[in-house]
Structure 1
Amino acid sequence: MRRAVEADTPADAKASRKAAVDAAAKPSQLANPQKATTSKKARGIRIATSIVQGKVFFHNPTNGGDYACSAAAVNNPTKNMVFTAGHCVHGGAGGTWATNWVFVPAYYNGSRPYGTWSAKTLTSFNGWINSSDLNYDIGVANVWDNGSSKLVNTVGGMGLGYNYGYVNTVTVWGYPAAFGYDGEVPYVCQNIGTWQDGSRVQNGCTMVEGASGGPWLRDYNETTGLGTEIGVTSTRTDPPAYIDSPYFDNKIQTIYDNTANG
């Protein structure tokens, strides 16, 4: 099942290069971080990593290619939500929905210590699906249970927030797979600042292709591997110097409400 979500933002948001934060828009927390409730030892993990983040694999029916992205589990009532970039679930204007979509938490050099979780539904905004508008380059997967286990109960789930403004300190996870990276291990840019880039948010992390969809986390806790997700890696500059995310505003409430019980 695939779903398009309308957003409560102007249809011409793509053309807007300046977007002021509404003074009345207060930071909102849709979901609080949750630790895993089941115990499972991970094998093959050789670096300190958050087991809540991971790698995405999918097939693009439009060009027949197989691709990879990054993502993170997010806490929700049905304990099965994954946040990523919109282009990691749908090809945008002229494209179609990804197939064979799976999320592998804590993927490391071929190891899948917490299993492979297949998408039940994929969701993005009409702004991305119809227009490839980067302000809506956000995707959500609701995954099937793995046997009797639920994703968030198994690895934990990030919190989810919006309207936190453009200036924050975040930790970014991802699986870059170009410019000397091979996509086989996770990398992290820790405690870096963000700023406004037109209508989007930017930071100085130099991750590249493969890192798309990786979480931008406020209040990241190294011990638990949890934080509050307020962005996803969407695009990079050329040459690699900065990465951008859509600004997480009220549209995040919209997509969460449409997928929270999926």
Structure 2
Amino acid sequence: MKRTLVLGGVAAGLLATALVSQPASAVSDVASDPLATSGIAAYNVAAFWLGNQAENLIGATPYNVETKVAAKHVSSGGPAADSKPGVVPAIGDEKKSTSTSKNVNLPKTTGKVFFTVPDGSDADSKPDARWCTATSVQSTYRNLVATAGRCVYDTETNSATLDQWVFVPGYYQGKLPWGLYVGKQAFTHYDFDVYEDGDRDYAFVTVYNGLKYVPRPGETGTPYVPSVTPTDWKEVTAEVYNKADIWKGFKKTEGGKYYFRKFTDAGRLGDNVGGQGLAYNQKLGKNVFVFGYPSGSHPDGNYAYSGKTLKWSYGKTFAATAAARKAEELQGVKSSFTGQGSLGSAWLLQYKNTRRLGYLNGVTSAVSDTDNNLRIDTSVSPYFDGEAYGVYSAAKNMWSGSIA
């Protein structure tokens, strides 16, 4: 399970207001896998989701990987800090803000990650479109997304990563207010990538600049009707054209030349929606807001959430375990969020309502009915310690750039 990389005292006191410790991390503790490593590959992914009036985005359903576990609230044992507590400030919040508000203003940083899984639930043979929750976090190039590890790595088939991975902050019924961000490279803990260790069920993903589509006369929504404006197209080689698996309307031939339809560069993720800070090795018992898109039913069959809009819950963290997930060092919070859709939900410490910023201190990896009354009452997350910070550190300085 947990490897202690740094010997140090137990986390105590208030949340630090500056980065007070940078735990050492071994390269072997970080697993990294490519998602879309070239501009053409990323373009193909974007075309998959935006083609045919974004039918794949609209038709996606919550990821139905196993989310319910038998979690246990423990009074001894559980997670422990492996060095001093520390934080990374949020984008735009590098200087401490003391403003407060009684209203709960939802963060712009949270959205849905979309991906495909191998066909298995439909009559057709196409991959099935699924989604989880994720959030933008601070990074050098403002291009980093945090979510649950199982929303990046395919724990069902044990293949490397889930396919066609994109992040859409603020997604709502086919609308992309700040654009679509194609995943470039995924980082997780080696123990999750190899052993599916539930104590390490988190991932950080770098994304390219966002993409938007600007309709031209004769086009509606997404380019299923080719534009007649020459500047809307970029020339590519025949080899690239023939290899590209792109929806009709995104490519054309003319005068013996080959073209792809251009997208509009929406800019960097963090510049558009901001990015939450990161906190690790924090003492349990602190209040956190949990933001996500819960969906699916309680065990008694009651559907409390649709998964269409962002929701929040609030409570104090406590130590928890889940033997079925090989998870002995979890943190839990009382929450009625059902599992499908809420995977990857952001746990934010010291959330500032006016600035909509806080410190990411966990991501929902499972939910539980701890009192066996057939109603979900608890969400659990890996405890963010120095090893979680090590995975974050491996991802935070990775550049991605534009693919428009």
Q: What is the TM-score when the length of structure 1 is the normalising length? A: 0.84
SS in 1 for 2:83: coil
Q: 1:138 to 1:6 in 2, by over 3 A?
A: farther
1:207 aligns with 337
- Post-superposition shift, 1:25? 2.5
Match of 2:285 among 167, 181, 190: 167
Query: CA contact under 8 A between 2:290 and 2:346: conserved in structure 1?
Result: yes
SS in 2 for 1:178: strand
Structure 1 letter corresponding to 2:376: P
1:259 aligns with 395
1:242 aligns with 378
Q: 1:71 to 1:244 in 2, by over 3 A?
A: same
Match of 2:350 among 207, 214, 219: 219
2:227 aligns with none
Structure with larger Rg? 2
Query: Cα deviation per residue 1:49-96 (whole Å; 9 max; x = unaligned)?
Result: 211111111112485432110011001001100000000000237522
Q: Measure the CA separation in 1 of the matches of 2:189 and 2:388.
A: 10
| 2:83 is the counterpart of 1:25 | yes
Query: Cα deviation per residue 1:110-150 (whole Å; 9 max; x = unaligned)?
Result: 32211111101122222112221110100111000121611
1:194 aligns with 317
Query: Cα deviation per residue 1:18-64 (whole Å; 9 max; x = unaligned)?
Result: 33524x732111x211149xxxxxxxxxx942111111111124854
- Structure 2 segments unaligned to the other structure (5+ residues): 1-26, 31-75, 94-103, 121-126, 211-264, 298-302, 322-328, 370-374, 399-404
2:155 aligns with 92
- Post-superposition shift, 1:159? 0.1
Q: Measure the CA separation in 1 of the matches of 2:114 and 2:282.
A: 30
SS in 2 for 1:157: coil
Query: CA contact under 8 A between 1:213 and 1:233: conserved in structure 2?
Result: yes
Matched residues, number: 237
Q: Measure the CA separation in 2 of the matches of 1:69 and 1:206.
A: 17
Spell out the pairing of 1:6-17 with structure 2 (5 A cutoff). Answer: 6-7=28-29
1:50 aligns with 107
- Structure 1 segments unaligned to the other structure (5+ residues): 9-16, 37-46
Spell out the pairing of 1:62-81 with structure 2 (5 A cutoff). Answer: 64-81=127-144
Identity over aligned residues, as a percent? 29
Q: Measure the CA separation in 2 of the matches of 1:125 and 1:155.
A: 26
Structure 1 letter corresponding to 2:361: I
Match of 1:60 among 117, 123, 136: 117
Q: Measure the CA separation in 2 of the matches of 1:195 and 1:255.
A: 23
Query: CA contact under 8 A between 1:166 and 1:247: conserved in structure 2?
Result: no
RMSD: 2.2
Spell out the pairing of 1:141-180 with structure 2 (5 A cutoff). Answer: 141-146=205-210, 147=265, 149-179=267-297, 180=303
Match of 2:189 among 102, 125, 131: 125
Query: CA contact under 8 A between 2:170 and 2:177: conserved in structure 1?
Result: yes
Query: CA contact under 8 A between 2:83 and 2:281: conserved in structure 1?
Result: yes
1:43 aligns with none
Q: Measure the CA separation in 1 of the matches of 2:188 and 2:273.
A: 24
SS in 2 for 1:107: coil
SS in 1 for 2:192: helix
Relative to total residues, which structure has the larger helix share, 1 or 2?
A: 2
2:246 aligns with none
Q: Measure the CA separation in 2 of the matches of 1:80 and 1:105.
A: 12
SS in 1 for 2:209: coil
- Please say which of residues 96-105 and 108-117 is displaced more in the overlay: 108-117
Structure 2 letter corresponding to 1:18: G
Q: What is the TM-score when the length of structure 2 is the normalising length? A: 0.55
Q: Measure the CA separation in 1 of the matches of 2:390 and 2:119.
A: 28
1:40 aligns with none
Structure 2 letter corresponding to 1:197: A
Q: Measure the CA separation in 2 of the matches of 1:76 and 1:25.
A: 22
Query: CA contact under 8 A between 1:138 and 1:232: conserved in structure 2?
Result: yes
Query: CA contact under 8 A between 2:79 and 2:331: conserved in structure 1?
Result: no
